[in-house]
Chains A and B, each alone.
Chain A
Amino acid sequence: MNSPKLRIKSLHKSFGAGARRTEVLRDINLDLADNEFVSLVGTSGCGKSTLLSIVAGLQDFDSGELDIDGSPIMKPGLDRGVVFQSYTLLPWLTAQQNIEFALKAAGHDRATCRRIALEHLDLVKLPHSANLYPSELSGGMKQRVAIARALSYRPKMLLMDEPFGALDALTRHQMQELLTQIWEEHRLTVLFVTHDVEEAVYLSDRIVVMGIGPGRIMRTFDVDIERPRREEVMESAAFMDLQRNVHKAIREASRRPEMA
């Protein structure tokens, strides 16, 4: 294996100070290879979002090392695209303009912005919604635009925090399918947070189970299910087995709080 895309080494993080100080992440070690799709799962409050936003550069950490392609992460930047759980399309811009907003920030000229934005709306299968405002889009469509926006400026990595968490089951399936397709075609490095184990197994190369009190990595599972994956794979014995094991691991991980 060549050098990792993302390297997290002995990372610690706590909130507050003095008596109110609480340790949220303890000794996190995690490498993501180039083009690898890794999911973070674990019980609520174990620090998944915190870890993701640290990688995004939106939050500081206490100690440890964090680098992308060998250079340390100091602040947020265009090398990491982020898709938030909440809908973060700017309501006064159309779908197309929302994507162009990001491209403009990345320094592209007007014509290029327009071309890339339209290409990416095609990619997420929304070619006819370019001129619609977020209030005119469904939740799934909004997240598709958000994904298009995060992909449009070609970040080295995609960071996603429960991007499909607010969607209904059917829409969520469609989004998962779309994301696997995009991932299989474009080969991205993805760090993905989810509560949905089935989703994690379906999408990932590797699943990282985090435990609570303080948050740390308890186990990792390699997902040896061959690609391309289509929905039928969810019925297979291997898929179901893995899903069961991950569930069990999450339960165990959250049953052991306050142990060093």
Chain B
Amino acid sequence: MPDEPAGKASPSDTATGQAMRRRRSSGIGAPIARSRFLIIAVAVFAGLGLAWWAATGLDLVKPIFLPSPASVATQLGKLWADGTLLTDLEASIYRISVGFLIASVLAIPIGVLIGSFRTWEAAIEPLVDFIRYMPVVAFVPLSILWAGTSDVQKFLIIFIGTFFQQVLMIMDNVKRVPADFVGLGRTLGLPDRKILTRIVVPSAMPGIWDTLRISLGWAWTWLVLAELVAATSGLGYRITVSQRYFQTNTIIGYILLLGILGLITDQVMKALGKVLFRQDSRS
């Protein structure tokens, strides 16, 4: 390292200097212990929770705007006990599963196709790029006209919100497959179809999995959006209804619940990815 700031470090200094530098863990990209990471993360959550608890406990805000943590917890408990929460969860999870599955099942082959063949890319990529920039929210009225308030309308909104993004991201994942991998397949005399299924797709799979994980996060948002405006069940529906009756505690409880659900699915996908692609730690 040439730029030791005005350091006239004599040889005897360097050892202690290095030790000091090693102890510092704030530089860009400097690693920290896993336990330390966890402690910091938990502390932030705990701090925010405490602030919430204090603000409501000291009557700094009216319960109608921000109910206390205890009130939210009791309300969630009540809704769980009478089965409302479970029914809402079932309806929402069913919708996001179907909607997301349809989008992904179509996006993967199309993304692989346009990532591999320029002709297909020319045919599909500009179109998808165009549609992608149309706001999903603006499709809601249209989706209601087409599909009413049925589940199909929810599938449609989730599909519109995720499919087009997925296609483009998967195309990118596929383009990132090293050209020499394809070259290898060709020198082995494999036909294009086999190069795609045996080399390109497996090679892009860790990236595709990441794309699915990220787009599943968005799918939650689109699901709730669809349920907010036109539904007779589901987490989003309950939030709208609660607004009508000023049940702020239900609203906040459900919002937190949605956050937790998102976090859980994300972590599950991450863990699965680690197991499925443990050999692909490219270095």
Contact = CB atoms under 8 A, between A and B. Distances in A.
Interface of A: 53, 56-58, 75-78, 80-82, 84, 86, 88, 90-92, 101-102, 105-106, 133-135, 153
A133 B279 contact: yes
A80 B194 CA distance: 19
Contacts of B190: 105
Given A78-B189, A82-B187, A88 B181 contact: yes
Given A77-B189, A106-B188, A84 B183 contact: yes
B186 A58 contact: yes
Shortest 4 CB-CB distances between A and B: which pairs?
Answer: A105-B188, A76-B186, A133-B279, A82-B187
A53 to B, nearest CB: 8
A82 B277 contact: no
B54 interface: no
A86 B279 contact: no
Max count, chain A CB within 10 A of own CB: residue among B178, B189, B199: B189
A243 B282 CA distance: 37
Contacts of A53: 183
27 contacts: A56-B187, A57-B186, A58-B187, A76-B186, A76-B188, A78-B188, A80-B187, A82-B183, A82-B184, A84-B180, A84-B184, A86-B180, A88-B183, A88-B184, A90-B181, A90-B199, A90-B202, A90-B203, A91-B279, A91-B280, A92-B203, A92-B205, A92-B279, A92-B280, A101-B188, A135-B281, A153-B188
Contacts of B281: 135
B282 A58 contact: no
A145 to B, nearest CB: 12
A58 B187 CA distance: 8
Contacts of A81: 187
Contacts of A153: 188
A152 to B, nearest CB: 11
Contacts of B18: none
Interface in B89-113: none
B283 interface: yes
A135 B183 contact: no
Nearest to A159: B187
A164 to B, nearest CB: 16
Contacts of B187: 56-58, 76-78, 80-82
A6 to B, nearest CB: 15
Contacts of B186: 57-58, 75-76
Q: Specify which of A57, A81, A88, A133 lies most central, judged by the most chain B CB atoms within 10 Å of its CB.
A: A88
Interface in B213-235: none
B87 to A, nearest CB: 42
Contact of B280 (A105, A106, A135): A135
Given A58-B183, A82-B183, A105-B188, 4 more contacts: A81-B187, A82-B184, A91-B282, A101-B198
Nearest to A91: B280
| Residue from B188, B194, B280 whose CB has the most chain A CB atoms within 10 Å | B188
A92 B283 contact: no
Nearest to A56: B187
Contacts of B202: 90, 92
Contacts of B282: 91, 135
Of the listed residues A53, A82, A92, the one surrounded by the most CB atoms of chain B closer than 10 A to its CB is A92
Contacts of B203: 90-92
A139 to B, nearest CB: 11
A57 B186 CA distance: 9
A106 B188 CA distance: 7
